[in-house]
Amino acid sequence: MKRSDRRPEVSPPPHWRFGHPAQSWLDNGLQVLLSARPGQHVASICLSLDTPLSGEPEHLEGVATITQRCLDEGTLAHPGASFAEALEAIGASLEGSVGYSASQLFVDVPTARLGEALRLLAEAVITPELAADQAERHCELRLAEIEQTLASSARIAQQAFRTASIRPRYRASRFAGGTPSTISAITPAAVVDYHQRTYRPDGATLIISGDLEPGVLSHVEAAFGAWDVRTAAEPTHQSPTRRRIHHWLVDRPGAVAADVRLGAFGIDRTDARWADLQVAGHAVGGAFLSRLNKVLREERGYTYGVHLVNQPMRAGGLLAVQGSFRTDVVVDAITEAAALIDLRQRPITDAEVAEAVSYHTGSAPLRFATAQGVTQNLAGLVAAGITAEFIDANMVALSHVTAASATDALIELLPPDALTLVVVGDAAALHQPLADAGWASTVYSATKLLHR
């Protein structure tokens, strides 16, 4: 045998632990997490605000989104377009995201300009102009964005599965960014009011990762130290619960393919079964040769890719098979997928557990290798109300998962006879075949999602 015929041995990765961020607080209650990453010349900043969307007035849903989008349209110190110019002049970028449990602002900036970037971020958060014309304009753009969402098969499927899985009384069942009726009701005064009521330093967290200089905390103090604590009520986070089972067929006449979500209301990171679910999820629908992708993509050629996606929230989560399939195979694909996620006859094997644990432990150093990776991961935990200790604790929990515990967790979480199904596709072609296969579904138009 030539030397090259022999498959090389793999040496095990060195034991990895997350290098914990340095934690401190400003007097106003702002938590600061500093994560030194030598050699990372672009610092990554996240300011996470403790602003659950359940704190939006119900008739003004989307006001958190509009408020965030107005922040960089001008500040008291840098009015109008001069704010964006000041930010771009130091090579910084500012992005925002509004989730159900936190509003977050992300800034990337070369480390040499970190202090200036922090001052600009603080301006945007503490003293934004929130000009009336900008609030109106962002409402108009949000209405256009909703139309774009409703034109996208994948995005309809995402929202429809959320709405079908979470009881309607909970904010997390509805569009994070609001609907045309709520957006139309948002006035510039409502934006100012939302900002005053909810943007506060106590409960907020500032995360900074990168090749940090020793004086970074003084930059933080200079930028955010004067942020007032307001005496508003503490925000309250909801704990959503599951809705009864639904099968929905959202009609896109003439679509060549259908987006599918098949699953159930799931769990969050604090659930005792979290590590079990990570292992089972990798085996069934995470890996390239997962049970789902091996059959539906690599053997059948039904799809570009199919996954079992685990989307934790702060409380509860969404767990679903996700894929896009051409119209003439979609019913077969759903039936096969349902059989593949039913572990009662084919439990998770010891080999699958070993592979999933090896995947999670091996990929950890990669996920945390850049400043952006560290900040993004920490931001996700902060939004979920979890500390950085979770990262190492989860590694330990993964090492205790057994084939039986992983199997049991998935059977509990995806009960074979109680799955919610969303299909976004050509109803004329799919309605009857779905019913014939035992997936009788109610047909809706995408605009149905906009109504409560």
Partner 1 sequence: MVSADVVNYPLHQEFLSNGLRVLVSPDRSVPVAAVNLWYDVGSRDELPGQYGWAHLFEHLMFSGSARVASGEHLQLLQNLGGSVNATTWFDRTNYFETLPIGALDLALWLEADRLGSLADHLTIESVDTQREVVKEEKRQRYDNVPYGDAMATLVELVFGADHHYGHTTIGTMEDLAGASVEAAADFFRTHYRPENAVLTLVGDFTVKEAFRKAERAFGQLRGGARRQRPVPGGLAPMEGIPAAELSGRVPAEAAYLAWRLPVRDTVDFDAADLALGILGGGQSSRLHQLLVRERRLLAFAGAHPLPLIGGNSIGLIQLRGLPDRGVAEGVQATLEQVERLATDGPTEDELNRIKAQFGREWLMDLARLDTRADLISAFTVLHDDPGRVNRRLVELTSITAAQVRDAAATLLRPEHRAELIYRVEASR
**According to CB under 8 A, which residues from 146 to 205 bind partner 1?**
147-148, 150-154
Among 53, 207, 257, 401, binds partner 1 (CB under 8 A): 257
**Number of H helices and number of E strands within the chain?**
16, 12
Of the ranges 2-10, 58-66, 339-347, 374-382, which one interacts with partner 1 (CB under 8 A)? 2-10
Residue 363 interacts with partner 1 (CB under 8 A)? Answer: yes
Residue 84 phi/psi, 5° resolution? -60, -35
Q: Which of 24, 28, 97, 137 binds partner 1 (CB under 8 A)?
A: 137
C-beta closer to partner 1: residue 64 or 306: 306
- Which of 347, 359, 397, 408 lies at the binding interface for partner 1 (CB under 8 A)? 359
The number of beta carbons lying within 10 Å of the beta carbon of residue 130 is: 22
Q: What residues contact 302, with CB distance under 8 A and at least 6 apart? A: 296, 325, 326, 329, 332, 333
Interface with partner 1, residue 17, by CB under 8 A: no
Provide the CB-side half-sphere exposure for 18 (13 A, CA).
24
Say how far apart CA 138 and CA 234 lie, in whole Å. 28
Radius of gyration (Cα) for the chain, nearest Å? 24
Dist. CA 47–CA 359, nearest whole Å: 30
Residue number with CB closer to partner 1 (7 or 451): 7
- By CB under 8 A, which span of 90-98, 234-242, 336-344, 400-408 interacts with partner 1? 90-98
Closest CA to 88 of 120, 111, 66: 120
Minimum separation from the CB atom of position 243 to partner 1 (A):
27
| Cα distance between residue 198 and residue 230, in whole Å | 9
Measured from the CB atom, is 86 or 102 closer to partner 1?
Answer: 86
Instruction: Please pick, from the candidates 70, 208, 223, 371, the single residue that binds partner 1 as defined by CB under 8 A.
Output: 371
Q: Smallest distance, Å, CB 262 to partner 1? A: 17
Considering only the stretches 83-91, 193-201, 235-243, 431-439, report the one whose residues sit in contact with partner 1 under the rule CB under 8 A.
83-91
Q: Which positions from 92 through 131 interact with partner 1, judged by CB under 8 A?
A: 92-93, 108-110, 112
**Closest CB to partner 1 among residues 347, 365:** 365
Cα–Cα distance between 426 and 249 in angstroms, integer?
9
Q: Alpha-carbon distance 63 to 395, whole Å? A: 38
Please select the residue that binds partner 1; options are 22, 76, 141, 440, rule is CB under 8 A.
141
Instruction: Say if CB 352 and CB 300 are below 8 A apart.
Output: no
Query: Which residue of 97, 187, 335, 358 would you call a contact of partner 1, by CB under 8 A?
Result: 358
Q: CA–CA separation, 444 vs 428, rounded Å?
A: 12
Q: Which of 51, 372, 375, 441 is in the footprint of partner 1 by CB under 8 A?
A: 372
Among residue numbers 379 through 398, which ones bind partner 1 (CB under 8 A)?
Answer: none
The strands making up 420-425's β-sheet, listed across from edge to edge, are: 303-312, 317-326, 257-266, 420-425, 247-251, 442-445
Binding to partner 1, residues 280-309 (CB under 8 A): 287-289, 294, 297-304
Cα distances from 394 to residues 19, 231, 311, 351, 412, in angstroms, run 15, 36, 16, 20, 21
Within residues 38-57, the interface with partner 1 by CB under 8 A covers 38-42
Task: Work out which of 369, 404, 437, 440 binds partner 1, going by CB under 8 A.
Answer: 369
Number of residues that bind partner 1 (CB under 8 A): 79
